Structure 1
Amino acid sequence: MLKIGGYINILIAIAHVVGLIVAEKMFEVTGIGKEMTELAQTHSSLPYLLTILVAIIFFVFGLYGLSADNKFRKLPFLKPVIFTIAGIYLLRGFGELVVDNTQGTNSTVETIYSLFALIIGILFLIGGLKKWKLTTKNETTNH
């Protein structure tokens, strides 16, 4: 599960960078066109820099997922970071669904993004729980 979550995050990171080729269209499709236009009024490079920063964050999330699944070298603070990533995704998914339903502003695209965030959050949460439950169980039996 952590491996799948890791690879999904890396794909999301790559999509952000590749999407910069057609940035305005990508911003429009993802529903942040207005916000990015306003940000560009401050400085034209800010939407691009913000997108690259977000891509880096997704990439790091991906590396942590792969690290926790032993597909990449062990990264620092692995256990708390995995559960923090799970929490971020779950909060984003549930939070957006609740706010949109409460305000009556839910769109199909936003609902899909929220469900996707929930799925990734569940992958990290269950993957982390399985990993550290098994690790704890193995450490107990080996001593």
Structure 2
Amino acid sequence: MQHLGSLALTLAGTFSALAALAHLACIAIGAPAYRVMGAGERMARAAELGQWQPTVVTLGIAACLGVWALFAFSGAGWGPRLPLAKWGLVLITGIYLARGFAYPVIQPLFPGNSTTFWVISSGICLLIGTTHLVGVWTSWRDL
């Protein structure tokens, strides 16, 4: 089972790293990328105006996703074991799954984001969360 857990956590880490890179691409490309990613017209307009908020928010999300990728890779055995890796991975798994399932509750808080954004991003979060869950569940003793 360790092989499955390592594979799942490697895949989960890759998903998180790709999500982080997608967020960084929004910063580099600007308003058109914010629109394509469904971040909402308010974020896109703020980026067009050169305001700092879209960059800071997006950098924060990218950094968080990058750290989460590192935790998954650590749990998979790639590099040194991070402190509290087991419990960090449990928390990360829970956040991804909660974000995926909770979109009907949190969607009204962000009225500028499209329904397409919520459906696709929630599906991605469920996929990544489930991949983490498989990895954590099958690697539990080794984490």
TM-score over 0.5 for the pair: yes
Counterparts of 2:64 and 2:114, CA distance in 1: 26
- Indicate the RMSD between aligned Cα atoms, in angstroms: 2.7
Among candidates 23, 47, 51, match of residue 44 of structure 1:
51
Counterparts of 1:109 and 1:46, CA distance in 2: 20
1:27 equivalent to 2:2? Answer no
Residues 19 and 32 (structure 1 numbering): CA distance in 2 closer, same or farther, change over 3 Å?
A: closer
| Residue in 2 that maps onto 1:140 | none
Among candidates 83, 95, 100, match of residue 93 of structure 1:
100
> Which runs of 5 or more residues in structure 1 are unaligned?
137-143
Among candidates 97, 101, 113, match of residue 121 of structure 2:
113
Deviation for aligned residue 1:24: 0.6
Counterparts of 1:44 and 1:98, CA distance in 2: 29
Residues 14 and 37 (structure 1 numbering): CA distance in 2 closer, same or farther, change over 3 Å?
A: closer
| Residue in 2 that maps onto 1:81 | 88
- TM-score under structure 2 length normalisation: 0.78
| AA in 2 matched with 1:28 | R
Among candidates 16, 23, 34, match of residue 16 of structure 1:
23
Counterparts of 2:39 and 2:120, CA distance in 1: 15
Counterparts of 2:127 and 2:98, CA distance in 1: 12
| AA in 2 matched with 1:127 | G
Task: Name the SS for the 1:19 alignment partner.
Answer: helix
> Which runs of 5 or more residues in structure 2 are unaligned?
1-7, 108-112
Counterparts of 1:97 and 1:2, CA distance in 2: 28
Residues 106 and 44 (structure 1 numbering): CA distance in 2 closer, same or farther, change over 3 Å?
A: closer
Q: Do 2:38 and 2:114's aligned partners in 1 also have CA atoms closer than 8 Å?
A: no
Task: Name the SS for the 2:30 alignment partner.
Answer: helix
